[in-house]
Each structure stands twice: as structure tokens, then as C-alpha cells.
Amino acid sequence: MRVSAYISKLQWIVLIIVLFVAFIILKPHRTTKADIKVEILNISSSQATIAWLSEKEYKGKVFYESAGNKTAPLSATEAFGNSKKHEVTITGLQSSTRYTYWLDDSKSRFQFQTQPATSTPFSFLIVWGDISDRIVPLMRSELAEFIISLTPPSGQNFDQFSDVRAYVPIYGPSGIDSPFLRAVTGIHQTDSGNLWKLDWGGLRLIFVGEVADTAKITEMLNTPAAHTIGIITSPAMISEFESKKISETALHPILVAHNKQHPAKPAAFVAVIGKDSNNVDVDGVQYFGISSDGKSSGAIRIDVDIESARAVFIDENKEIALKQPPLKQKRTCEECRRLADKGAYEESIKAYLEFIETHKGSYQIDDAYYAIADIFDSKLFEFAKALEWYRRLLNEYPDGTFSPLANQRIKYIAVYSDYDYKPLAQFEHIKAIEYARKKDQPEERSKIFNEVKSLINKYPDSNLAPVMQHWLANQYRLSDPDKAVEAYMALRKNYSGHSEAQEAMVEIGETYYDAGRYKEAITTFKQALNESPALADTIKTQIARAQRNIRRDKIAYACWIVLAITCGIAFLRKPRSVETSRIFWSFVVFVITGVLLSFGAWLIHEQFNSFKEMLLIVFFFSATTGLSTLISMNFTDKLLVKNNHSVLAAVAGTMAGIIFFLAGIYLTIYYVYVHYLIVVKL
């Protein structure tokens, strides 16, 4: 009894030990001290510093290559000797370029992007709270070039940025947020002493602590390179979001004074950590709050461009403009546009001119300039005036969003400006007005084509002549293939070497193809193959299609012959009688097949182009089935009479019926909708 009691106690002890060991092994691994992984310590436009810790001492090496370009990778080695703390600086990089890198012989690949040039747009994230489960998706979706974390490192039980440190530098309100530096120096965060700056592309971010020296703030505001300055501060500096209260703070007058002196490099925004997410514009400086109260998490993306900056509150779907172009608002003239839409072009231009006069200098009105230029250009065909307005647009709004279009139009008009724009004006008028209205009337269309021919004859040397000739050939193609071919040949002959004539042979081939003249199309395409080897793939495909269509036509002829032969043998060969019962049964087969096919067709009716097409297919398929039954029976009967071999006769009769059936089906598809033949690869 005693022994069994001991054994029982021992069993309990063993069980407890086993459970304890299992708990140690299986408990979720969450270290209180973050694992030290690769991180980006510093990035500029031409260099990057990568840091990591290792268990063993060695000289660290980093391999890198431009992302997306498969060239031999370069390498950079750390400056000092063997160590467990590694810092490798890569130099000689290009700005705003993504690089892939890896350590020594590691298989893990990471990427970083160098800082952009001052004029290049970029984005960064401001995050707070526990965003460990979101930081990787945020990096992917928001394309941030660096992150500012408002949660102090001491407030984190684990490193929530461990998955992204290898890609972007992380900063906090007091300086760089780096586990590597913490491990190396033993301090939680670099302390830049209440006031420090971060330069990134065209942005200077100034972090202003509670007891920052205002004289030093003024010094930091002076930046030769940045086009935008932002301040990140705390409620100690800005306690209330009310214009008067803000104006009375120590910070605001400094910013206003700077903006007066340097309007091209303004202090555009002040982000106040720990305030509610309100915002207010005071004297052109946008103040907004970031409610990082420690209880919730959140993220803001700041987009910075040379003319504008904005803050996008990702979770709230809210956006604040932090900096706007000099003429803040766009204004458009809806009434002016309505006049143009109605065709009152002169009136519309007058209205636009008045609009420009009353709004100039106050609003961005580049689209009014563009609208006037466009009316002169595409409606009134007064190209000299159009050019004048396009040029005014470029002069007064060189960075406007219509400037590239204006630029392009100027170049185009300039190419065809010979003969004082006369051929261009007449041709554009024909295309845009006369042809657009009358192209569906054959007689009028013919007159228009003759007009274009006369224009070409009048200005044979103009830059526009080959363009007009090509246009003419293309339009003939829609109605008269022979005239189209003639026009293409004229284009080849008179303007050989011109870009418009380069694919003329291919276009002739396509003209023949569209007209159903496949043999001529093949001949032309083969000639084009010799002349335009660059288009070999396209031409060969066209040849294959033409050959396919010829094949289809031949199969259709063959099917008619098969039908004629089987019908002839089945009905005309003696004995010529057809039993009424067979006709009846054939009719029954026709009806039953018709019902079944109708039901099936109704189920997939969306696949048919029209109800009529569906009906025709069902009817002729059913009729073919009924007739093939009759033919099969008659065929069998005639063979039996002749040979008396019932099995042979039955097989032969069935084969005849099947052959008739297949030929009938083919012809049905061929005449109803030939492209269904693609389904059976014909």
C-alpha cells in the first residue's frame, strides 16, 4: 500500500514536471527586449547606412543593386575591423532610387530608397499606438519613405517596427528611433535636446520640444534647399486651436516673420502631438492636431510636393491641405463652357475673356486660357490665334496641368503651319464638320472625298499632304475597297519614305480581307512581309486568318456537295418511295430535338447575339436531326433492298445520316454565325 502510494505521488510529480516543461516550450514567444535585426540607420540622396548586431565577430558586408535592374551587384564593407556591431555605409547612390540589398551570404533581400531630389514628390507616415499588425500593409499601400513614430520606445513591449526597419528609417519626436543605437549606446533614444531637424528631399521638418530655444528655431527655419518647412511640436507650445490663442504663442510670430521674408520657402504647417485632430489656418500656417493619446492607434500620411503638401488621416478618411499653390483655388467658368457646348463659339470666347479679366490674380484660371485656345484651334480653325493663347498659357502658367497639352498642340500646329495654315484649316474643317455630318450619305461623302483630293492636288508639297492622302484611303476602305487600294497605292508612290506610307501594304491587305477577297489579301500580305519585317508577327497572323476563311468557304462547298449526294442517294435512287411512317418519325425527332434544344438554348440565351440567331440555330439543328433520321432510314432501306445485309445496311445508313447531320450542322453555323466555328477550332 505504501509502495503504491509512493508510486502514485511520483506519478503526480512527473506529470507536474512534464506540464511545466511543456508550458515553457510552448508559451508564445514575445520577448520584452526586441530582437535586433537589420535596420536603416540613415539615408541621404547619395548614401545609406545599414546597421545590425551579430552573435559572432566579423567584418560586415552588404551587397546591393538597383531594384529592377539585373546588373552585377556591388558591395560595401564596414570601415572598422571585426565586431559584433555592424554599420555599413553605401555611397555613390542615385537620388530617389530603390535599391535591393542583402547581408553577406544571407538569402533575405531588403530594399531601401534614397532620398528624393528637392523637386521630387514623396510621402512619409506619422504613426502612434500599437500598429504592429498594420505597419507592413501601411508601408505597402502608403509608399512612405520614412516613418515618424509618436509612441516612445520605452512605451513599447516589443519592437513593432521590426518588419520595416530594414526598409525605412524610423524617427521619434526626440530623434532617430533605433534599437541598434539603443543596444550600442545603452540609451533609449537619441536625445537631440528638444530641438532638432530632419531634412528630406524638399522638406525640412523641425521637431520643437517643450523648452526649445526660439532663437535656434529661427536659425533652423533658414534653409537654402527646402521648399517646404513643417514643425512638429507638443501642446506645451500650442495649447489651443484657436486663431487668437495661436497668434499669442511664442512659435507663431517666428513662423509668420519667416514666411514674410521667404514666401517661396514657407513654414507651411505645424503638427501638434497630443491634441484633438482639429485644424485651423492662421496667417497662412496650417495647424493640425494628432490625437496620440496612448489609448488608440492611428496613421497619417503626409504628401510633399514642390507646390503643395497635404495630410491624409488614413483611418478617418480625412484630408487637410497643408500647403497650396500660389493661386489657391481653381476657378472655371461653367457658363462659358455651356456657350461653347451649344456652338456659340464667339460668344463663349467673349465670356471667357470677361471671366479672365475679373478673376486674374485671384484664382487659377489656366483652364480658361486653354478653353479659348481650344475653341480657336478645333472649332474655328484659326490656328494663329490658337497658338497665341497656347503660348500665353505656357508663359503665365508654366507649371499648370494644361501646359503639357498646350506644349504638345503648339508643336503639332507648327509642323503643319506651311502655306499659312490654309491646308490645315481646310482639312480640319472637312474632317471635323463636313465629314462628321455627311459621312452616312453616299453622294455627299463622295463630294467630300473629291474635295480632299483637290486639296491634295492644290498643295502636293505641304507637310499635310501625306496625312490627307492616308486619311482618304482609310475612309474609302469603309465603303469602296478598290478606291481605297488606289489611294493607298498613291500614298506609297507619291510619299514613299514618309511615316504615313510605311504600313500602306499591310493596310491594302486588310482592305482586301475586310472585303472578303482573301486570296488577294494573302498575296498583298506576303508582299508586305518582305517590306515590313518588323510587322512580321502581325502580318503572319493576318495571313493565317485569311487562309482560315478560305478553308471555311471550301468546307462549306464540300458540305453542300455532301448534302446533295446523300439526299440524292436517299431519295432519288430506286425505290423512290418514302414511307409516310418514316416522315412521321422524322417529324417526331424534329419536334423532340427542337423542344430539347429550345430548352437548352433558353438556359444559355445570353450567349447568343440575338433571339433571331438563337431561333435559327435551334430550328436548323432540329431540322438537320430530323432529316438525317429520314435519310438514315431511307439509305438503310435502299441498301437492304440491294444487298440484304441488315447489319451492313444499318451501319451504312447510320453513317450516311451522321454525315448528313454533320454537314447540316456546319452549314447552319456557317450561315447563321460563322464565328462559332472557333469553338471547334475551325
Partner 1 sequence: MKTTLYVLAIVQLAFASTSFADSDKKQTIPDLAMAKQYAKAQLEIEKIRASKTPDWAAASVQFELMLPIVKYIDAKCEMQYDKEIRDALKECTAGHDIETNDEILGKGLQHIAVLAIRQELDLMAADPNNIKPCAERIAAYFEGIRPTFVRRDKGFFEGKKTLEASADEALTQLSKADKSSLLTASMQLEDVIARTYALSMLYEISEIEKMRSSDVALCDGKRTEAKMFYRIIQQRIEKRSPKINEIIVNTLNGSYDTMNSQSLEKDLVTALGFKLR
Work out which of 402, 476, 525, 660 binds partner 1, going by CB under 8 A.
402
Amino acid at 198: L
Work out which of 45, 113, 233, 625 binds partner 1, going by CB under 8 A.
113
- For partner 1, the closer of residues 425 and 565 by Cβ is 425
**Distance separating alpha carbons of residues 403 and 73, to the nearest angstrom:** 41
3-class state of residue 200 by DSSP: strand
Q: Does residue 108 bind partner 1 (CB under 8 A)?
A: yes
Work out which of 89, 120, 192, 523 binds partner 1, going by CB under 8 A.
120
Work out which of 279, 542, 566, 632 binds partner 1, going by CB under 8 A.
542
- For partner 1, the closer of residues 258 and 310 by Cβ is 310
Residues 545-564: x where in contact with partner 1 by CB under 8 A, - otherwise, as a string? x-------------------
Instruction: Report the DSSP pairing between strands 309-313 and 195-200.
Output: unpaired
Only segment of 191-199, 268-276, 400-408, 447-455 that touches partner 1 (CB under 8 A): 400-408
Work out which of 248, 283, 307, 315 binds partner 1, going by CB under 8 A.
307
CB of 576 to partner 1, least distance (A): 42
Q: Does residue 124 bind partner 1 (CB under 8 A)?
A: no
In the numeric block, which cell numbers belong to residue 273? Answer: 502631438
Of residues 26 through 65, those in contact with partner 1 by CB under 8 A are 37
Only segment of 24-32, 148-156, 406-414, 451-459 that touches partner 1 (CB under 8 A): 406-414
- For partner 1, the closer of residues 220 and 311 by Cβ is 311
In the numeric block, which cell numbers belong to residue 610? Answer: 440575338
Cβ contacts of 619-625, under 8 Å, gap ≥ 24: 619/594, 620/664, 620/668, 620/672, 621/593, 621/597, 621/665, 621/668, 622/590, 622/591, 622/593, 622/594, 622/597, 623/590, 623/664, 624/660, 624/661, 624/664, 624/665, 624/668, 625/589, 625/590, 625/593, 625/661
- For partner 1, the closer of residues 466 and 653 by Cβ is 466
Q: Which is nearest to 90 in space by CA: 71, 74, 72, 68? A: 74
- For partner 1, the closer of residues 216 and 526 by Cβ is 526
- For partner 1, the closer of residues 138 and 290 by Cβ is 138
**Distance separating alpha carbons of residues 65 and 114, to the nearest angstrom:** 13
In the numeric block, which cell numbers belong to residue 174? Answer: 526626440
Determine whether 426 is exposed, middle or buried from the number of CB atoms within 10 Å of its CB (0-12, 13-18, 19+): buried
Q: Does residue 96 bind partner 1 (CB under 8 A)?
A: yes
- With contacts defined by CB under 8 A, how many residues of the chain interact with partner 1? 72
How distant is the alpha carbon of residue 403 from its chain centre?
23
DSSP 8-state assignment for residue 604: T
Label residues 390-420 b or e (16+ Cβ within 10 Å = b): bebbbeebeebebbeebeebbeebeebbbbe
- For partner 1, the closer of residues 378 and 643 by Cβ is 378
3-class state of residue 146 by DSSP: coil
Q: Does residue 166 bind partner 1 (CB under 8 A)?
A: yes
3-class state of residue 353 by DSSP: helix
DSSP 8-state assignment for residue 277: S
3-class state of residue 323 by DSSP: strand
Element (H, E) at 172: strand 170-172
In the numeric block, which cell numbers belong to residue 456? Answer: 491634295
- For partner 1, the closer of residues 111 and 523 by Cβ is 111
Q: Does residue 360 bind partner 1 (CB under 8 A)?
A: no
Beta bridge pairs of residue 518: none
Phi, psi (deg, nearest 5) at residue 422:
-65, -50
Work out which of 73, 121, 274, 284 binds partner 1, going by CB under 8 A.
121
Q: Does residue 675 bind partner 1 (CB under 8 A)?
A: yes
Only segment of 239-247, 285-293, 335-343, 466-474 that touches partner 1 (CB under 8 A): 466-474
Residue with cell 507637310: 463
Only segment of 179-187, 299-307, 556-564, 654-662 that touches partner 1 (CB under 8 A): 299-307
Phi, psi (deg, nearest 5) at residue 32:
-75, -30
Work out which of 222, 479, 609, 646 binds partner 1, going by CB under 8 A.
609
Work out which of 47, 297, 324, 407 binds partner 1, going by CB under 8 A.
407
Only segment of 117-125, 242-250, 451-459, 568-576 that touches partner 1 (CB under 8 A): 117-125
Q: Which is nearest to 554 in space by CA: 680, 682, 429? A: 682
Q: Which is nearest to 657 in space by CA: 674, 637, 677? A: 637
Work out which of 417, 589, 676, 682 binds partner 1, going by CB under 8 A.
676
Only segment of 159-167, 275-283, 290-298, 664-672 that touches partner 1 (CB under 8 A): 159-167
3-class state of residue 54 by DSSP: strand
In angstroms, the Cα distances linking 422 to 381, 386, 450, 456, 458 are: 10, 14, 17, 12, 11
Of residues 70 through 89, those in contact with partner 1 by CB under 8 A are 70
**Distance separating alpha carbons of residues 497 and 332, to the nearest angstrom:** 45
**Distance separating alpha carbons of residues 252 and 286, to the nearest angstrom:** 11
Q: Does residue 513 bind partner 1 (CB under 8 A)?
A: yes
Residue with cell 472655371: 332
Q: Does residue 122 bind partner 1 (CB under 8 A)?
A: yes
Q: Does residue 68 bind partner 1 (CB under 8 A)?
A: yes
For the chain, give the longest Cα–Cα distance. 127
Only segment of 45-53, 186-194, 540-548, 554-562 that touches partner 1 (CB under 8 A): 540-548
Q: Does residue 474 bind partner 1 (CB under 8 A)?
A: yes
DSSP 8-state assignment for residue 58: E
Q: Does residue 111 bind partner 1 (CB under 8 A)?
A: yes
Work out which of 308, 324, 532, 547 binds partner 1, going by CB under 8 A.
308
Residues 246-285: x where in contact with partner 1 by CB under 8 A, - otherwise, as a string? ----------------------------------------
Cis peptide before 460 (omega within 30 of 0): no
CB of 167 to partner 1, least distance (A): 6
Q: Does residue 389 bind partner 1 (CB under 8 A)?
A: no
- For partner 1, the closer of residues 470 and 638 by Cβ is 470
Q: Does residue 673 bind partner 1 (CB under 8 A)?
A: yes
Work out which of 142, 159, 520, 637 binds partner 1, going by CB under 8 A.
142
Q: Does residue 110 bind partner 1 (CB under 8 A)?
A: yes
- For partner 1, the closer of residues 33 and 98 by Cβ is 98
Only segment of 80-88, 108-116, 237-245, 638-646 that touches partner 1 (CB under 8 A): 108-116
CB of 78 to partner 1, least distance (A): 21
In the numeric block, which cell numbers belong to residue 161? Answer: 517596427
**Distance separating alpha carbons of residues 102 and 115, to the nearest angstrom:** 20
Work out which of 93, 229, 467, 528 binds partner 1, going by CB under 8 A.
467
Q: Does residue 327 bind partner 1 (CB under 8 A)?
A: no
